[in-house]
Amino acid sequence: MSRASRARKVVTAAAFGGGGLGALSAAAVGIIYGESKLARRRIAPAETDPPRADGLWVATGADPRAAVLTLAMLGDSSAAGYGVHLDSETPGARLALGLSALAGRPIRLHNVARVGAQSSELVGQVERVLEHRPEVAVIMIGANDVTHRVRATESVRGLTAALLELRAADVHVVVGTCPDLGTVRPIAQPLRWLARRLSRTLAAAQAVAVVAAGGRAVSLGDILGPEFEASHEYFSEDRFHPSAIGYARAAEVLLPSAAAALGLTTTAEPPGPFTSSRARPVAQAAARAASRPGTEVAATTVDGAPIGRRGPWARLTRRRAPAVMPPTPGPDGHRPPDTMVGQAAGASPDQAATDLSE
């Protein structure tokens, strides 16, 4: 069964109460759970909460007197920023500063993400942020669902419920889908490849659900994998959570989609030999994105129709990280000494986007 077929099956089962991927995949999840118990012995449990980054963020060059935009962060430890030491190193703060630079306005951040959270907790998190009336919400979720044997159908059901509440309140939504757990070193081979398979299947199913709800899904995939092979500095001391550098990479791929959701200016590169404007059935697009980090999946139309014979249409887009992102932390995990909180590198409000190559 292809990843696209598995993703369709998961989303359909989530909508109609089915069991999901069946006995074989359930057994695989059980194996991963057993291996994750061993991995946890090598991973120090969370002893402190991540830095609190809630509040007003104003990038250098933004007008502090302009109307404030509100950004909500929801999800698990990856959204909370567990593993870093400064509030400005959390992904929420980096996204807030990047959006502030692009919009030229202050960004108020409300982060309700919790270390260890699973998709079933998202509705409760949504209820906490809706009172602040955010314009855009960024969700990062999924890893704990995989390592705690949560069926993909249940994960997608929890995510979908949260998405529908946010969209009903006219909140734009960007979801960083489940990261590729095959890059996590404390999970030993040969079971690591199963973690990769399960996490990518969940990521694809999440993307299908996000597009159906009118949001934008961004693949985190193995975004830290190649860098981790070369340097362990992309992960924190526990070798499970990202370091400040790792969170900076994640924020870089999420920021352009959050900006696009808010209607901020983006510039698309003209089609070339490695780009395509092709629309695909959403499950096929989601499956393709799951193994290509930094890829956005969003709804589109073909000849004016949003749905084709094989379901809703979606388009894959690769967006460059805009130059307005705060400088990436140095190898020690901290900002360069001459970089002040609130500063943003670069002056251009534009960001380039290209369709994913064939």
The token pair that represents 326 in the structure block = 């705060």
Q: Could you tell me which residues are beta bridge partners of residue 281?
A: 313
**Catalytic one among 85, 120, 132, 238?**
238
241 tagged catalytic: yes
Tokens linked to 24 = 């074989």
The catalytically annotated residue of 78, 145, 155, 241 is 241
Q: Between vectors from CA 80 to CA 74 and to CA 85, what angle results, nearest 5°? A: 160
The Cβ of residue 185 has, within 10 Å, a number of other Cβ atoms equal to: 15
Catalytic pick from 25, 36, 77, 78? Answer: 77
Q: Which residues are catalytic?
A: 77, 238, 241
